[in-house]
Amino acid sequence: MARRKKHGEPEHENTERWLVSYADFITLLFAFFVVMYSISAVNEGKYRVLSSALGVAFGESLPVSVLQQNIKYPEAGTAVKPTPAVAHHDQEAASMQKMAQDLSKTLDPLVQQGMVRVSQSSKGVDIEINASLLFASGDAALSDDSRRALLAIANVLKDTQYDLEVDGFTDDQPIKSKLFPSNWDLSAVRASSVARELGSDGISDDRMKVVGYGSNKPLAPNDNTEDRARNRRVEIMVLAPQYEAAREITYKTGKDAAH
């Protein structure tokens, strides 16, 4: 027969209740590491199944396509062939790298003089041309030397499919003339002059766009003559396909969100 507690006897406090919360925490932590381990080896099929399963766990319906697909995982030691998308991306990256090398080789004399810089980033291949090679001070008419340099650039780029962005930049010294009321105008017209020259050298106009930044985005502080000279430039950016695709998706998302 169970013993009854005497009236007024203090109830025994369970000091081990924290073990329940602790056990729950350990279980969740273990589940977290299992999930992280499962996606550490990038496999599109595994990732989609895991993503869908998590969606179901949080109240979202599982797509029928995921339920129906028959995913076969490679055995240990089997070489995994890249997917067509990955192989295409690698091919594009190699193409962009070769283009940067060809441009550097073609423009090497100007690169050695510090008048041109060729660099590569996730955005694409950037050809930075010092304004002193292209224009007289305060002017936007191309010099003869600049036309030869732009022709060499066009010969490398005209047979490719990549889009171009031509950006104009100035230093922070104010300009006010009948032709150019501000640095905005000067930078935009200079970029436009370069784009028109590239167009006449064989690059389709629908591949190019022109942007004038004025004195914004300087490469160096505008506190001495040498740095201001470097900030006066035109950049021809050969845009990587994945960068263009990302911008298109962002634009469409924003447009869809507006509706």
State pTM to two decimals: 0.63
CB 170 within 8 A of CB 231: yes
**Residue 191: left (phi > 0), alpha (psi -120 to 50), or beta?**
alpha
Say what the pLDDT of residue 4 is. 56
Q: Indicate the Cα dihedral angle 208, 210, 211, 212, nearest 10°.
A: 150
Which backbone phi and psi does 164 adopt, to 5 degrees? -120, 145
Nearest-angstrom CA–CA distance, 9 and 11: 6
Q: What domains, with CATH codes, occur in the chain?
A: 20-68 (no CATH), 91-246 (3.30.1330.60)
Please report, for residues 30, 33, 82, 86, 88, the alpha-carbon distance to residue 44 in angstroms, rounded to integers and kept in the order given.
23, 19, 11, 11, 16
Burial zone of 160 (CB within 10 Å; 0-12 exposed, 13-18 middle, 19+ buried): middle
In this prediction, the residues of the chain whose per-residue pLDDT falls under 70 are 1-15, 38-89, 244-259
